[in-house]
A and B are shown apart, each in its own frame.
Chain A
Amino acid sequence: MSLATMASILGAEIVYAKQMLNDYIPIGINEQEDLKSLGKDPALKVLNDRPWNVETPIHLLDDKVTPAEKMFVRNNGQLPKRPDPGSWKLTIQGESVKSEKSYSLSELKSKFKQFTFQVTLECGGNGRGEFYPPTEGNQWGQGAVSCANWTGVRLKDVLQDVGIKADAVYIGYYGTDEHLSGDPKKESISRGVPIAKAMEEETLLAFQMNGKDIPLANGYPLRLVVGGYPASVSGKWLKTIAVRNKVHDGAKMETPSYQVPIEPMEPGEAIKAENMQIITSMPIRSIITYPKSGATFALSAALKIRGHAWAGEQEVSKVAYSIDFGSTWTSATLEKPVNRFAWQHFEAQIKFPKKGYYEVWAMATDDQGKSQPMVVPGWNPKGYLNNACHRIAVKVT
Chain B
Amino acid sequence: MKEQDLKKMLRFIFILGSLAMLLVISMIVGTMLIQQHPEWLHALKENHSSKNNISNQQENEPNEEVEWTPEALEAVGLVEGEGLQLVLTHCTNCHSAKLITQNRFTKEGWIQVIRWMQATQGLWELGDAEAEIVTYLSKHFAPEARGRRIPLEVEWYDL
Closest A residue to B97 by beta carbon equals: A27
**Residue in B75, B102, B157 whose beta carbon sits within 8 Å of that of A27 in the complex:** B75
Closest B residue to A9 by beta carbon equals: B71
Residue-wise, chain B 47-62 has the 8 Å CB interface mask toward A (1 for contact) of 0011011111111100
- CB proximity of B119 to chain A, nearest CB, Å: 10
Q: Is B135's beta carbon under 8 Å from chain A? A: no
Q: Is A113's beta carbon under 8 Å from chain B? A: no
Contact A293 B154 (CB under 8 A): yes
Among B84-110, those with CB < 8 Å from A are 92-99, 102-105, 109
**Residue in B57, B75, B157 whose beta carbon sits within 8 Å of that of A29 in the complex:** B75
Per the bound structure, the CA–CA distance linking A392 and B153 in Å amounts to 10
Segment at the interface with B among A176-184, A190-198, A314-322 = A176-184
Report the contact-size class of chain B (Cβ under 8 Å from the partner): 35 or more
What are the residues of chain B within 8 A of A138 when measuring CB–CB? Answer: 99, 102
Given known A-B contacts A12-B69, A180-B58, A186-B121, A18 and B76 have beta carbons under 8 A apart: no
Segment at the interface with A among B11-19, B25-33, B141-149 = B141-149
What are the residues of chain B within 8 A of A49 when measuring CB–CB? Answer: 96, 98
CB contacts between A and B, total, < 8 Å? 157
Q: Is B1's beta carbon under 8 Å from chain A? A: no
Among A1-50, those with CB < 8 Å from B are 10-16, 18-24, 26-29, 46-50
What are the residues of chain A within 8 A of B143 when measuring CB–CB? Answer: 132-134
Q: Is B67's beta carbon under 8 Å from chain A? A: yes
What are the residues of chain A within 8 A of B109 when measuring CB–CB? Answer: 133
Among A42-98, those with CB < 8 Å from B are 46-51, 53, 78-79, 81
- CB proximity of A380 to chain B, nearest CB, Å: 15
Contact A22 B56 (CB under 8 A): yes
Closest B residue to A78 by beta carbon equals: B56
Residue-wise, chain B 123-157 has the 8 Å CB interface mask toward A (1 for contact) of 00000000000000000000101111110101111
**Residue in A15, A296, A388 whose beta carbon sits within 8 Å of that of B67 in the complex:** A15
Contact A139 B56 (CB under 8 A): no
Contact A393 B55 (CB under 8 A): no
Closest B residue to A13 by beta carbon equals: B69
Where chain A touches its partner, the secondary structure class is loop
**Residue in A10, A81, A130, A301 whose beta carbon sits within 8 Å of that of B149 in the complex:** A130
Residue-wise, chain A 277-306 has the 8 Å CB interface mask toward B (1 for contact) of 000000000000001111111000101000
What are the residues of chain B within 8 A of A46 when measuring CB–CB? Answer: 98
Closest B residue to A128 by beta carbon equals: B102
In this complex, the member of B64, B70, B94 whose beta carbon has the largest number of chain A beta carbons within 10 angstroms is B94
Q: Is B72's beta carbon under 8 Å from chain A? A: yes
- CB proximity of B154 to chain A, nearest CB, Å: 4
Closest A residue to B98 by beta carbon equals: A48
What are the residues of chain B within 8 A of A251 when measuring CB–CB? Answer: 120
What are the residues of chain A within 8 A of B116 when measuring CB–CB? Answer: 136
Q: Is A199's beta carbon under 8 Å from chain B? A: no
Q: Is B66's beta carbon under 8 Å from chain A? A: yes
**Residue in A23, A53, A303 whose beta carbon sits within 8 Å of that of B58 in the complex:** A23
Per the bound structure, the CA–CA distance linking A162 and B71 in Å amounts to 55
Per the bound structure, the CA–CA distance linking A81 and B55 in Å amounts to 7
**Residue in B113, B150, B159 whose beta carbon sits within 8 Å of that of A297 in the complex:** B159
Contact A51 B53 (CB under 8 A): no
What are the residues of chain A within 8 A of B155 when measuring CB–CB? Answer: 294
Q: Is A254's beta carbon under 8 Å from chain B? A: yes
* Residues in chain A within 8 A of chain B (CB atoms): 10-16, 18-24, 26-29, 46-51, 53, 78-79, 81, 130, 132-134, 136-139, 179-183, 186, 251, 254, 291-297, 301, 303, 359, 374-376, 388, 391-393, 395
Q: A15-B69, A24-B92, A81-B55 are in contact. List 13 more A-B contacts (CB 8 A).
A: A19-B42, A22-B49, A26-B69, A46-B98, A48-B102, A49-B96, A134-B104, A134-B105, A182-B57, A186-B122, A291-B159, A294-B154, A391-B149
3 tightest Cβ-Cβ pairs between the two chains A and B: A28-B75, A26-B72, A375-B148
| 17 A-B pairs (CB sep. < 8 Å) | A10-B69, A10-B71, A16-B67, A18-B42, A19-B64, A19-B66, A48-B102, A50-B96, A53-B99, A132-B146, A139-B102, A139-B103, A181-B93, A183-B122, A296-B156, A296-B159, A375-B149
